Structure 1
Amino acid sequence: MSIGCGDERTGSGAVASVDLGAVGHNVRVLQQFAGEAAVMAVLKADGYNHGAIEVAHAAVAAGVQEIGVTTIGEALELRAAGIGVPVLAWLHRTDSDYDAAITAQVGIGVSTAAQLDAVVAAARRVGRAADLSLKIDTGLNRNGVAEADLDVVLDATAAAVAEGAVRLVGMFSHLACSDEPSHPANDAQAERLRDAVSRASRRGTPPAVVHLSNSAATLTRPDLCFDMVRPGIALYGLSPVPDLGTFGLRPVMTLSAQVANIKKVSKGESVSYGYTWTAPADTVVALIALGYADGVVRRLSGRFEVTIAGRRFPSVGRVCMDQFVVDLGGDGSGVAVGDEALLFGPGARGEAHAQDWADALDTISYEVVTGIRGRVRRQFVGARSGEATE
């Protein structure tokens, strides 16, 4: 399958290889950090652009107890693919299909009284109790039940539980500053979540599961694990707190492309749009068939390296829509048309990491891996069958 709109006829030959064995490894690492807490694997945005269905199967096989996604549609796709563990969806539109979610036993995270009313109405129509989780806004001021509305929502939840329209399976929140483990906001948010749980319990509706920790908190704040942790980026082998190391995680995605052309460039000649790079000496350059339409953003121009046959070569000139250029040196370094160029991966073959791109762009690795698109084909390796699949 392709990550973007490309296929074998329109593709550039670029591949995002997804190592499902690394997914299993990362689940086991996260389980060690989680201790007694369960692990929910977050697979929103098509598994952070790694392929939600395949990653879900690998994660469940490795012991993940639950899965989290953003939308009901994402959850229903996992159900249709045979994923049977609890799945929670927590961001909804005014026309979200709660009936379908309840029928498929998809957990519904609600953040407003209006959403709760809509879920209760759907449960009555379907004739089955909804698996409800309350998302509590503890200070991120994004999604979640606001403090001013909490008592009203908790009262309505208690009434819905008494009616049999919902089961309160969870209460959860999301940290604002988890990548700064000692930030006081982390403790303050945890305390607000505990208070919300206590208020629900006083109404006779204690949640079955409480969760707060994302990847960073799972790896750095064991005191915030509660009943379950909810890692996202760490599942894909990328550190949520790069300054503290890799935590033993293995990057899951490797991005590669083909050398499409090789040519000599004389001293004083310039390369690519705008002539932003001029050869300081006679050299040989290689054209790589990947560009900003595929996720190699233009701001990376001249700021990253690729690995070919175990050697690193710098990009030169501007990244174009479909291609970019690297400097091979005066002798061409033995590189030939058709050779594989590694852009980022786990580093086993000398290639850069997604974090290297993130550092160059002053962003986070999440944006790097979710940004790969266009004509890049996704290929799974380390599958349950042991075969590579596309």
Structure 2
Amino acid sequence: MQPTVSELIVHDDAIRENTAAFARLTGDRLMAVLKADAFGHGAIAHSVLEAGAKSIGVTSIDEAVALRDGGVDAPILSWLNTPEADFEEAVRRRIDLAVPSVELLAAVVRGAVRAGLPARIHLHIDVGMARDGCAAADWAPLCALAREVEASGSVRVVGIMGHMSCADDPADPQNARERLVFANAIRTASRRGLAPAVPHLAATAATLTGAGGGFGVHRIGAGLFGIDPSASTDLLKPALTLTSRVVSSREVGAGTGVGYGLDFVASDRTHLALLPVGYGDGLPREASGRAEVLVRGRRRPLVGRFSMDMVVVDTGEDQLQPGEQVTVFGPGAEGEPTVAEWAAWARTIPHEIVTRLGSRIPRIHRTIEPSNHTQGAAA
């Protein structure tokens, strides 16, 4: 078996610390959102539950079933499904389901009847994003039908959920409007005879800014992995380090162009090092001409357009050796670029950087030594 040339190191201790911090902040009312393979971080469900999360949220039923197959026994909520989804399997596997419409409620009821068990559902209200969730005009009929099928024993309405659009800015007046919509939705459900015990409106940004507080459970995804959408705290710890190794290195003269289109042309004699990682692995091509990596304790620019499988580092007077390690990004403690910097270079958000990293790069779960921030033994 050939040695791995690129590795995505997942700092489990950072995820645990972030989880514990959110558990304290939310009064132990933390739902860990592990959609998209835990934001690209892999198998960390047991870690977050041990660190204080009480439940888990994902988008699809397939994601939830995979967690059950992995031994997760905590409550799991799936909130993005079409009427054709396997609701029978979801009910059998004790997976909570978000319901944003009468049509989806009918499909869930059919699955519950086939399973011979009541479905646990969270009615989903659109508070202002015009994305997922029930439109306010359709909310009362949805609640009325939910009460009817609850009385028949087909479902149990255990939650009401919404998602805020502008919670990263606590001063945005839209926050007050959306809180009012959510509070009205709870009152409407109550008037229709429903008594869900789990209201949840706040995700990471709304929790950190306080814009979504006061409604019970908090759904925290990005924050578990050190990403702060609100830019309101520096207490969260980034949880990924991406490294690669030099394939080859060469000295080139002034006037040498690099990559497709020769967008970069060396102004002086320099050294170039080739790394076997590119946009096929998830590095954003938009960052071409702006991104940097850490080489021998010093930042060096990536030059030329990113290729599918490779990028080129301008190492100046240093000629690197084949096999030498380069840090693409990390927590930043040693001067390496961070995920947030990569997001800025690619004109996107950190969420996209971490979730787009491909399966060609193996996830290596490790801890960070507190004394010097180097990678320790495998967890």
Q: Which runs of 5+ in 2 are unaligned?
A: 369-375
**For 1:275 and 1:163, how far apart are their aligned partners in 2?**
69
The equivalent of 1:5 in structure 2 is none
Structure-2 change in CA distance of 1:12 and 1:278 (3 Å): farther
| Partner amino acid, structure 2, of 1:117 | A
Asked whether the 8 Å contact 1:16–1:256 carries over to 2, the reply is: yes
RMSD: 1.8
**For 1:245 and 1:38, how far apart are their aligned partners in 2?**
20
**For 2:317 and 2:212, how far apart are their aligned partners in 1?**
56
Are 1:275 and 2:267 an aligned pair?
no
**SS of equivalent to 1:210:** strand
The equivalent of 2:373 in structure 1 is none
Q: How does 1:37-76 map to 2 (within 5 A)?
A: 38-51=29-42, 54-76=43-65
The equivalent of 2:337 in structure 1 is 352
| Corresponding residue to 2:308 among 321, 332, 351 | 321
Asked whether the 8 Å contact 2:227–2:238 carries over to 1, the reply is: yes
**For 2:129 and 2:78, how far apart are their aligned partners in 1?**
18
Could you report, residue by residue, the CA deviation over 1:9-61 in whole angstroms, capped at 9, with x for unpaired residues?
A: 6x962111111111101111212332x3600011111111111xx21111001
| Partner amino acid, structure 2, of 1:376 | I
The equivalent of 1:25 in structure 2 is 17
Identical positions, percent = 38
Are 1:261 and 2:248 an aligned pair?
yes
**For 1:320 and 1:223, how far apart are their aligned partners in 2?**
42
**For 2:252 and 2:228, how far apart are their aligned partners in 1?**
39
**For 1:55 and 1:191, how far apart are their aligned partners in 2?**
35
**For 1:375 and 1:268, how far apart are their aligned partners in 2?**
34
Q: Following TM superposition, by how much is the alpha carbon of 1:223 offset from its aligned partner in structure 2, in angstroms?
A: 5.7
Q: Which runs of 5+ in 1 are unaligned?
A: 1-7
The equivalent of 1:99 in structure 2 is 88
Could you report, residue by residue, the CA deviation over 1:92-114 in whole angstroms, capped at 9, with x for unpaired residues?
A: 12310111111111001011101
The equivalent of 2:148 in structure 1 is 159
Could you report, residue by residue, the CA deviation over 1:176-206 in whole angstroms, capped at 9, with x for unpaired residues?
A: 1122221111121111111111111122211
Q: Following TM superposition, by how much is the alpha carbon of 1:222 offset from its aligned partner in structure 2, in angstroms?
A: 6.0
Q: What TM-score does the superposition give when structure 2 sets the normalisation length?
A: 0.94
Q: How does 1:96-245 map to 2 (within 5 A)?
A: 96-221=85-210, 224-242=213-231, 244-245=232-233
Asked whether the 8 Å contact 1:293–1:374 carries over to 2, the reply is: no
**For 2:46 and 2:335, how far apart are their aligned partners in 1?**
29
Q: Following TM superposition, by how much is the alpha carbon of 1:312 offset from its aligned partner in structure 2, in angstroms?
A: 1.0
Q: Following TM superposition, by how much is the alpha carbon of 1:268 offset from its aligned partner in structure 2, in angstroms?
A: 2.1
Asked whether the 8 Å contact 1:37–1:227 carries over to 2, the reply is: no
**For 1:341 and 1:152, how far apart are their aligned partners in 2?**
58
**SS of equivalent to 1:224:** coil
The equivalent of 2:371 in structure 1 is none
Asked whether the 8 Å contact 1:314–1:326 carries over to 2, the reply is: yes
Asked whether the 8 Å contact 1:30–1:219 carries over to 2, the reply is: no
Asked whether the 8 Å contact 2:98–2:121 carries over to 1, the reply is: yes
Q: Following TM superposition, by how much is the alpha carbon of 1:174 offset from its aligned partner in structure 2, in angstroms?
A: 0.6
Higher relative contact order (CA 8 A, sep 6+): 1
**SS of equivalent to 1:192:** helix
Work out the number of aligned pairs and report it: 372
Q: What TM-score does the superposition give when structure 1 sets the normalisation length?
A: 0.91
**For 2:62 and 2:367, how far apart are their aligned partners in 1?**
27
